[in-house]
Structure 1
Amino acid sequence: MGQTSLNQTVGGRTRWAAICSGLWMIAILAAFSQVIGLVAMPTLAAVLIYAAAKSLRPRELVSILRTGPTSEIAVVTTFCATLFLPIAAAVGIGVSLSLLLQLNQEASDLKVVQLTLIGDGRWSEHPAPARLPSYRATVLDVYGSLLYAGSRTLQAELPDPAGAEVPTVVLRMRGRTAVGATFVKVVEDYATALDAVGGRLYLSGVDHAVAKLLRRTDRTGASEPVGVFEATEVVGESTTQALREAESWAVRRRPPNSDQ
């Protein structure tokens, strides 16, 4: 840490600064070892303190503190840890804490909304219902990360199919180029829950690589597999196709005397 600060203070720009400073240090120690041995330790400490002070950037620190509680907790905890613990341990604590806070942020910063087709290819956005309606298709979109803890939050936010008859759900996934094992498990569980009440799950706007993964790992045990509609160049096209298929699925299974 001290050598890095010194390199920055004297204008070092690349990793060669550390290599060159090491070579110069060897040469100086070999030529002036007796003189260097007379330098008092407080003097060396003062040099390191000066270099550390010069490496601080108040503007960046203020920007971090204004960003939000996640950044504040990480920077304050790391700073306090460096005062009482070895540098390696302090950095490890800071990195671990930042990772945990990021995972918590991803889990809490996820929102599920309902989309309704209003004509001319346009969609209106509404809060997602708590329960699914019977014999109708519900289009859902998700804001936020679906990796790690975000997938479990999605599972809790999805409308409950219990009590509904033949509900169908279209989950829009456009722009998501990768999913994890947790998301695949959530999709499997939700598809199974829909199948238990005669419904079916559809995924629209799916990236080609993600679509291959989902088809390869489809082990829901449901009577029908999860419907996967890959994304096209036209935004909303695959969702419209999935919605029509979902509506047709519900209509074909509607009892003749049903007033739903």
Structure 2
Amino acid sequence: MIREDSTLEKVFQLSNHQLKTQYLLSQSTVVQIRDKKKQEAFLNKSQKYKNENIEVITIFDAGYPSLLKEIFDPPLVLYVKGDSSLLQGEKILSVVGTRDVSINGRRSLEKIITPMIEQGWTIVSGLAYGIDILAHRITMTSNGQTIAVLGSGFNHIYPREHAEDAQRIASEHLLISEFPPDRKPAKWQFPMRNRIISGLSRGTLIVEAREKSGSLITGDQALQQGREVFAVPGSILEPRTMGTHHLIQQGAKLAASAEDILEELSDFKS
């Protein structure tokens, strides 16, 4: 339907028979499409999104990120707040890691991503505690561009402590979610969110991750998506680096500097 008419106006002009035969719909689905209350609710919701500066991008739209479209299970819809042109960039690096970041982890993160930000790389992360929020804040402090991918809707920022950061990212950078604005956080939604973080990016950098860290899910998904994975090494006595060491054993590239990443992503240096 969207391919034939992105506004969906023509759909409502078709007869019941045309809807059933042209789109192979069941009678119950046709009844729902014809439901005036549902039509009105849909239009009201669309207007509400516009009033709240929320852009809805479907997988059929030109503005949908081409890299994300390449993954096995791309989201059909993205809700977007901010500078949606960032989705079209080629120099995008995702950064994830532990929620309980060490001083060494913080310093390593800053050392590696600051030169990349200065070279125009957009940093993607998930607004979570620890490495995620640090990656966003370092990027903003360095006058770079950042994209935050949520595991909930815009009206339920998680964690709440990062609501101010989310507001700044929405106004100066880009905030996105595959979930409608009123969707509350739920445990199962965050692993789904992770595939978008890695899917938007040329490569994923993991800074500190314990053996069963959720960050390893993002690393695994990046590998499945055919993207580069980089892991920062650490002390063998530090539990926070056991997961990153495992990734290196699995084939992730050891990253001790920005150059280690740029060597692998050399096609996108300029």
Normalised by the length of structure 1, the TM-score is: 0.27
Tell me which of the two structures has the higher relative contact order, counting C-alpha pairs closer than 8 angstroms and 6 or more residues apart: 2
Larger gyration radius, structure 1 or structure 2: 1
Q: Report the structure, 1 or 2, having the larger helix content.
A: 1
